Amino acid sequence: MHLSINAYFNSVPKDIYAHISDQELLDKFKRDQDSIWLGILLQRYTLMLLGVCMKYLKDEEAAKDAVQQVFLKVISELQKYPVDYLKSWLYTIARNHCLMQLRDKTKLISVSEEMNLADEPSTNLSALDKEHSLILLEQSVNELNAPQKTCVTLFYLQKKSYQEIVESTGFSLLQVKSYIQNGKRNLKLLVAQKMSQS
Amino acid sequence: MSDFNNILNHGAELSDESLKRYLEGTASEEERFMIEHQMTDEAFMNDAVEGLQQFKDPKVMQDLVNKINQDLLKHTVKKKRNKLKHRIEDQKWAMLSIIIIIILCILGYFVIHLAQNPTSPNHSIEQKK
């Protein structure tokens, strides 16, 4: 992207409601039945939703139209049903909308399944449990397969960027992302296993 | 040891500005790590970044965001206005109904009053007889 991008981004008005959380805005909407609150809330996700629609539709105008249609659907649905995890729900609606547009035969993922993909409430471990799991985590890293261990170590422990990992390991970007994601998942499983054994 | 926390922790929420700086390639090391951490944790963030990276011209991307936000604002304001209009119309009919009921009550009162205390001259003559 060009350096001149700042000029365009600076023209965007700052969110004067930034101090209000998503949940508070949703509550305000439910209480007042005023869709203005929804407008403020949804604007926070415009850029990300545009990115998601662009990824699937590969066309700028089509992506814009898709986001607008997603917003209309969201406004109408939110007046009917309560939504607990707005962010992941928005993502699911946008992705399903794009997949439907592509008339792909891919099985659509239901909202309940998708909840795990984002906004997952983090597990509240006690300080003692956390310390214990950190020790187990350190031990478990060595049990990962070589590519996962390398990528997890470079990414989480040495804080290298995706690009730097690609350059130093020779893996493709897709492989790097996959090794990090799977490595993290395997680490959590290993720690959980060890915790249940001890 | 503290670095292992990164594996356990969920990526923190980030602003659009950080995301734009990341796309632009001017994000700080910390911002870059936070975004990529979130991309690892959330399919939403990963898809969003991959999609936004496909925009060749950042101006087009920002124009589209502005256009979508403007339309969203117009839609929500219009919805609010319609709701207000409906409410006023509902109130108008309620007010009209109240006025009609009051008028009917007053008329009813006079009819009953006249029936109980007739004051017509013929009626008073007959009463005197």
Q: What is the pLDDT along chain A (198 residues), one digit of tens a residue?
A: 444 444 444 444 556 788 888 888 888 888 888 888 889 999 999 999 999 999 999 999 999 999 999 999 999 888 888 888 889 999 999 999 999 988 755 555 554 444 445 444 444 556 667 677 778 888 888 889 999 999 999 998 888 999 999 999 999 999 999 999 999 999 888 888 887 876
Tell me, yes or no, if B28 comes closer than 8 A to chain A by beta carbon. no
- To the nearest whole angstrom, how far is the Cα of B70 from the nearest Cα of chain A? 9
Which among A62, A97, A117 is the end of a domain? A117
Instruction: Transcribe A107-146 into DSSP letters.
Output: PPPPHHHHGGGS-PPPP---HHHHHHHHHHHHHHGGGS-H
**A112 and A134 inside one domain:** no
- Closest CB from B3, B17, B69 relative to A157: B3
Model ipTM value: 0.74
**A74 and A10 inside one domain:** yes
Which among A98, A117, A136 is the end of a domain? A117
- A chain contacts of residue B43, beta-carbon cutoff 8 Å: 91, 117-118
Query: Is A197 domain-assigned?
Result: no
**A11 and A105 inside one domain:** yes
Cβ distance B48 to A162 less than 8 Å, yes or no, reads no
- CATH code assigned at A58: 1.10.1740.10
Q: How many CB atoms lie within 10 A of CB B121?
A: 7
Q: How many CB atoms lie within 10 A of CB A16?
A: 8
Cβ distance B19 to A48 less than 8 Å, yes or no, reads yes
Domains: count for chain A: 2
Query: Is A196 domain-assigned?
Result: no
Which among A70, A88, A117 is the end of a domain? A117
Cβ distance A11 to B42 less than 8 Å, yes or no, reads no
**A88 and A137 inside one domain:** no
Cβ distance A184 to B40 less than 8 Å, yes or no, reads yes
**A142 and A85 inside one domain:** no
Buried b (16+ CB within 10 A) or exposed e, A56-82: bbeebebbbbbbbebbeebbeebeeee
**The model's pTM:** 0.70
- B chain contacts of residue A49, beta-carbon cutoff 8 Å: 48
How many whole angstroms separate alpha carbon A145 and alpha carbon A190? 13
**Residue A96 domain boundaries:** 5-117
- Closest CB from A9, A51, A156 relative to B47: A51
**A157 and A135 inside one domain:** yes
Q: Answer yes or no: is pLDDT of B31 > 80.
A: yes
**A175 and A95 inside one domain:** no
- To the nearest whole angstrom, how far is the Cα of B115 from the nearest Cα of chain A? 52
Cβ distance A63 to B80 less than 8 Å, yes or no, reads no
- CATH code assigned at A183: 1.10.10.10
**A64 and A86 inside one domain:** yes
Cβ distance A51 to B60 less than 8 Å, yes or no, reads no
Mutate: best of B44, B59, B62, partner A, most A CBs <10 A: B44
DSSP state of A81: S
Query: Is A21 domain-assigned?
Result: yes
